[in-house]
Amino acid sequence: MIFVAAGTQDGRELAGAILGAGYDVTASVVSSYGKQLLEKYPHMKINDKPLDRDGLESFMSSHDVTLFVDASHPYAANVSANAMEACRALGVRYIRYERQSVPINYKNVYMVGSYDEAAKKAGELGKNIFLTTGSRNVKAFTSSPYLAEHVITVRVLPTAEVIAEITALGLTPKNIVAIQGPFSEELNVALYRQYNADVIVTKNSGEIGGTDTKLTAAEKMGLPVVMIDRPRLKYDNIAYTYDEVLNFIRC
Q: Are residues 37 and 140 in the same domain?
A: no
**Average pLDDT for 20-48:** 89
Answer positive or negative: Cα dihedral of 69, 71, 74, 76: negative
Question: What span, in angstroms and rounded, lies between the C-alpha atoms of 90 and 111?
Answer: 38
Contact 226, 120 (CB under 8 A): no
Dihedral-angle region of residue 104 (phi above 0 means left; psi in -120 to 50 means alpha; beta otherwise): beta
| Full residue range of the structural domain in which residue 243 is found | 2-99+232-250
CATH number of residue 206's parent domain: 3.40.50.1980
pLDDT at residue 174, as a whole number: 94
Q: Are residues 21 and 45 in the same domain?
A: yes
Q: How many helices (H) and strands (E) does the chain have?
A: 10, 12
The tens digit of pLDDT for each residue in 134-146 reads 888 999 999 999 9
Arithmetic mean of pLDDT over the chain: 94
pLDDT(36) > 90: no
Q: How many CB atoms lie within 10 A of CB 183?
A: 18
pLDDT(34) > 90: no
CATH number of residue 24's parent domain: 3.40.50.720
Q: Are residues 119 and 205 in the same domain?
A: yes
pLDDT at residue 120, as a whole number: 97
7 pLDDT tier (thresholds 50, 70, 90): confident
pLDDT(32) > 90: no
**Residue 104 in domain:** no
**Greater confidence, 50 or 217?**
217
